[in-house]
Amino acid sequence: MEKRILGLDPGLAILGFGAITCTAGLTQLQSTKVNVLDFGVIKTSADMEIGQRLCTLFDDLHTVIDNLQPDVVAIEKLFFYRMSSTIVVAQARGVVMLALAQHHLPYVEFTPAQIKLALTGYGNADKSEVQEAVARELDLAEIPQPDDAADALAVALTAWYQM
């Protein structure tokens, strides 16, 4: 049975998305296949007012969901850097949660440490180690670009590993 997982790396300026398809073997002897369906980013310009940026995220995320038809969505949990950036990321996450609710999509959330642990075996791995693991696990010749898309694929893979 095939499962489509959409991974999201929320942000106001850049929201990364990465979708994978996972097919589990019917028996333990059959292998599991994981393939990239699509990945990319939704960008908003700092020149736009905050409300318009959130509308862009909302509209474009609806388009991504409609096109990819995920069974489940995996989201990176909010990580606190600076208060100012935390607030805008929280606003973007609110838009993401609303779009998922409107599509009646189940979701799971993972902290950055959980994602790092799932992909590298080490919860304090650096970004490059996680990105290399994404490329290796998905049998890609290169690390997906931009970084936000690679991060979203890492979130999707973490969800698959947890299922």
Annotated binding residues for Mg(2+): 9, 76, 148
3-state secondary structure of 141: coil
Q: DSSP state, 78?
A: P
Instruction: Given the residues 38, 66, 139, 148, select the one marked as catalytic.
Output: 148
Burial 87-99 (b: 16+ CB within 10 A, else e): eebebbbebbeeb
Taking alpha carbons only, the member of 129, 99, 103, 100 closest to residue 116 is: 129
Catalytic position from the list 2, 9, 60, 139: 9
Is 9 marked active-site?
A: yes
Active site annotation includes 139: no
Detail the residues annotated as belonging to a binding site: 9, 76, 148
Q: Please, where are the H alpha helices in the chain? A: 50-68, 83-102, 112-120, 127-137, 147-162
Q: Is 59 a catalytic residue?
A: no
SS3 call for 107: strand
Rounded Cα distance, 72 and 106, in Å: 5
Task: Please pick, among 71, 76, 126, 142, the residue that the annotation labels catalytic.
Answer: 76
**How far is 148 from 154, CA to CA, in rounded Å?**
10
Catalytic residues: 9, 76, 148
